[in-house]
Amino acid sequence: MAEFTLELNDDQKQVKEWLHGFAADVIRPAASEWDEREETPWPVIQEAAKIGIYSLDFYAQQFFDPTGLGIPMAMEELFWGDAGIALSIVGTGLAAVGVLANGTEEQIGTWIPQMYGDADDVKVAAFCSSEPDAGSDVASMRTRAVYDEAKDEWVLNGTKTWATNGGIANVHVVVAVVDPDIGSKGHASFIVPPNTPGLSQGQKFKKHGIRASHTAEVVLEDVRVPGHCLLGGKEKLDERLARARERAESGGERVKNAAMATFEASRPAVGAMAVGTARAAYEVALDYAKTRSQFGRPIIDNQGIAFQLADMRTRIDAARLLVWRASWMATTGKPFTSAEGSMSKLYASETARDVTAQAIQILGGNGFTREYPVERMHRDAAIYTIFEGTSEIQRLVIARTLSGMPIR
């Protein structure tokens, strides 16, 4: 078991430097253009694929880093470049995590490569969980999956929303209700293969931030998928549902649902994204404060500005430490006894929101214009306190874990 350390090894340092170079040389120069266009930056994704960043192999190497720091390190550097473009590059990863968390070895080997494609034919994937009336309240999910035993097919009907890459993805991973009588315990995840009839894109959202990332509704109308597209297989599902029913009747231990298993695994990674955005805004503000003069001296000479920067840097470093701890714990199999994963996502996301706002304040009127990137960074940072569990939900998870009580 890898010991927890704050020192990156030589391989990790090389990867970090490589990613930072790509973020600085390729992502940042394109950030403003794709933010304005509000379109998926396919040329940037293809550049990432050409050098191996957008690939199954790269994410597998980082995912299986025995220290647990591979993924958060990668997320921080890419999102330091730009959150919208970076999310377009890593958005497929949420669907891949959904398969890794719930699928069989055969399903992992079959579907994850199809999510990425290759450098000559780039593909993306989408994870579809949220619904118009079921975001944080996963128990209200209405998308149904009904098993057609005669044909060994599952029939999916419903509407998903807020799906990154929704509708444009090669592979969709869809969470649906298979047993409505046991609430969120009656959910399962399904692969919807490419070009499956009945799946279509609904509304594409025009967003406040992360505009280069495609977000849309996914409509499922009598979508039929083969039985082998149920992640984990039917035997495993039947066993899990039986246990959930027994525990529901006895008031016993809870069983995690398919969507929650995915989000639990990805929360520290989202925290790392927030750290990258916060760090980027802090660096812009620091450089500006050193060079901007008022009343005959750089504004960083003013205690009011200097103390803000000190607080910004302190919070960023604290957020990174929480993310690294949670990532190391998850990789080494240590249980989140105090909801450490949610802690990392909560603190890092609110740090990004606050630090980017402070960066605008330090830049003054310039920070409020699109000539400077902190305005875009602040818009982008708003999403971290919302997606993959709002700050309120993270606090609820933490409070329930600490108290052992069903706090509402």
DSSP β-bridge partners for residue 172: 126, 192
Among the options 217, 264, 375, 388, which is catalytic? Answer: 388
Largest CA distance in the chain: 82
3-state SS, residue 276: helix
Distance (Å, whole) CA 254 – CA 260: 12
Distance separating alpha carbons of residues 281 and 316, to the nearest angstrom: 11
Sequence-separated (6 or more) residues with CB below 8 Å from residue 255: 185, 240, 243, 244, 247
Q: Which two tokens stand for residue 69?
A: 């720091």
Long-range contacts of 42-49, Cβ-Cβ distance < 8 Å, separation of 24 or more: 42/122, 44/85, 44/88, 44/89, 45/88, 45/89, 45/122, 45/124, 46/119, 46/122, 47/22, 48/22, 48/89, 49/116, 49/117, 49/118, 49/119, 49/122
SS3 category, 91: coil
Q: Helical H runs in 292-390?
A: 303-331, 340-363, 374-381
Q: What is the CA radius of gyration of the chain?
A: 22
Q: CA dist 363 to 264, 284, 292, 311, 368, Å?
A: 37, 9, 9, 16, 8
Task: Name the token pair of 27.
Answer: 């992502």
Residue 388 annotated among the catalytic residues of the structure: yes
Question: What positions carry a catalytic annotation?
Answer: 388
